[in-house]
Chains A and B, each alone.
Chain A
Amino acid sequence: MNQWKNFTKGFIKENPVFVLFLGLCPTLGTTNSAINGIGMGLATTFVLVMSNFVVSLVAKVVPDKVRIPSYIVIIASFVTIVDLLMKAFLNNPGPNFEPSMYDQLGIFIPLIVVNCIVLGRAEAFASKKSVMTSLIDGFGIGLGFTFALLLLGSVREILGSGSIFNIKFIQGDAILLFVSPPGAFLALGFLIMLMNKLSKKIS
C-alpha cells in the first residue's frame, strides 16, 4: 500500500470522528476549548502509535482466543504511562494559577483505554499488517483524530466563550450552550454535515 495514502487517510477519507464515528465519548467530553482538543488528541495519538507498534510486533505469537485481552492490557499500560507522564511534566499552573494541562484533561485520560479507535486499529489493522505500516497508520489516524478535536474545540470555544486558544475577542459571555454538552452534539452534527459535503466534492 502507498504509505503516503496510508498516512493521509485519517484526515478526511477515514477520519475517526467525522467518518468512522469512533471514540465520540472523549470527543464530546474534552472539546470545550481548542487547546483541550489538541491535548486530548495528542495523548490519544501517542497511545495509538505505541499500541499499534507493539500489537503488530506480537500479533503473530498471540493465540487467537486471547488476543483481545492481550491488546487491552497493552493499551491500558500505555494509557497509564501517558497519565503518569502528564501528571509529572504537564502539571505546572500558570503564574496567575491557571489550571495546568493535566488538571483540565486528567479525568479524560483513563478513558483512552475504552476509546474504540485504539482497540479498533489494533484489531482491524495492526494485527494484520507490518510494523512500519501499522506505525504510519497510528500516526495518521491519531493526527486525524487530533485534527477533528481541534476543529470541534475551536468552533465550540469561538461560539461558546468568545475566545480562541484562551485569547478573548468578545467581552463577557457568548452563546453558553456551545460549551455545555448539548452544544457538543450540535456542533459535531453540523461539522459532520460540512465534512460530508467536502469529501463528496473531493471525490
Chain B
Amino acid sequence: MSRKESTFGNMVITLFLVTLLSSAALGFIYELTRKPIEDALLNKRTIAFNIVLPEFDNEPIKDMYKVGIGKDTFNFYPGMKSGEIVGIAIETTSQGYGGEINLIVGFLPDGTINKVAVLEHKETAGLGDKIIKSKSDWSTQFEGKNPEEFKLSVTKDGGSVDAITASTITSRAYCEALQKAYNALKTGGEQ
C-alpha cells in the first residue's frame, strides 16, 4: 500500500477535496430531482382528492385555504362542481404508534365523511397498516357517517368505532385525526 503520508497539510487538503466534491455532486442531484419530487407530491394529492371527494371540476390545490384553530392550522381543499361546493378535503394529522399519521378526509357539505385516504403513516406492517384501504376494509366503516351522531372513538372508550385487532393505539390516533378535521370543518364553516 503506497498511501500518502498523514501530515497535517495532506489531511486538510484531502478532507477539503472530499467534502467539496461530495457537496457538488449532491447539489447537482438535488437540482435534478427537485422538479420530479414536487410533481410526485402534487400527483399524490391529486390522486387523493379524486378518491375522497365527490365528482368535481375545479382544481382543489389552487383553491386551497387555511383554517387555524388554536395552534393547529388545517389545509382546506374545496371540491366544486359548476361553482357549487360538493365537498371539502381536509389534511389532518395525529400521533400514531410508529409516528405521525397524515390523512386526507373528504367531507360532504353537511359534515358527513365521504372517504378517507392515508397520505403518510409509519404504523406496523400487518397490524396498524390496516388503516390503508388496500390492506383491509376497516376504514370503510367511516364512510357516509356524520361525526355528529357517529362518535369518533373506539368502542373500548365508549365510541362507535370498531378498533383494529391488536392496534388500538393506531385506531385511536386515526379517530383523533378525523375528529380534529371535523372540529376544524365546524369552526371553519362558521367563519
Contact = CB atoms under 8 A, between A and B. Distances in A.
B11 A180 contact: no
Count class of interface residues, chain A: 35 or more
In this complex, the member of A59, A93, A95, A98 whose beta carbon has the largest number of chain B beta carbons within 10 angstroms is: A93
Interface stretch (A19-27, A83-91, A113-121): A83-91
B153 to A, nearest CB: 24
Contact of A81 (B26, B120, B132): B26
A84 B29 contact: yes
Given A32-B126, A64-B6, A77-B25, A89 B36 contact: yes
Instruction: Tell me whether chain A's interface is mostly helix, strand or loop, or mixed.
Output: helix
A65 B18 contact: no
B14 A62 contact: yes
Interface of A: 32-33, 36, 58-66, 69-70, 73-74, 76-77, 80-81, 84-85, 87-89, 91-100, 103, 107, 128, 160-161, 173, 176, 179-180
Nearest to B122: A107
A94 B134 contact: yes
A81 B29 contact: yes
11 contacts: A32-B125, A61-B4, A61-B14, A73-B22, A77-B26, A87-B33, A87-B37, A88-B33, A91-B37, A96-B133, A97-B133
A64 B3 contact: yes
Interface string B5-35: 1110011001100110010011001100100
A64 B132 CA distance: 51
A179 B125 contact: yes
A180 B6 contact: no
B117 interface: yes
B118 interface: yes
A53 B63 CA distance: 49
B124 interface: yes
Interface string B23-57: 00110011001001100110110011001000000
